Amino acid sequence: MVATCPKCRDGKLYSGFLIVNEACLSSGLNLRCQDSCDFPKITLTLVVGAHSVFGAIMMDIATAPPYWLHVLNWPIFVFGLLPLRPLKAKCKGVQYCRGMISL
């Protein structure tokens, strides 16, 4: 799940955090012809969001902590969105392997 070109495994896939390059500099593969859709974003947002809300409610019911403790505790779950970049790269690789990205 490295963020490299699925064809040559050498060129960079991203130009920013989640901005896909127009084409690979090494192999010339057009990387923007097929979008990896919203699968990684939706999946991670729903999973992380559901766990965060469920955990906050359970913690509030069980211990009734002060709100400042919630503010310190639950932003940690936001870091669960960090695997978004490798998941999007994986989707690009699967699209290439299945012939969804044109050469």
Predicted confidence (pLDDT) at residue 103 exceeds the cutoff of 50: no
Please give the average per-residue pLDDT across 14-33, as a whole number.
80
Query: Do the beta carbons of residue 52 and residue 74 sit within 8 Å?
Result: yes
Q: How many helices (H) and strands (E) does the chain have?
A: 3, 0
Please give the average per-residue pLDDT across 78-101, as a whole number.
76
Query: Do the beta carbons of residue 29 and residue 101 sit within 8 Å?
Result: yes
pLDDT band (50, 70, 90) for residue 34: low
Boundaries of domain holding 89: 1-103
pLDDT value of position 49: 81
pLDDT value of position 102: 55
Residue 22 tokens read as: 């127009």
Total domains, the chain: 1
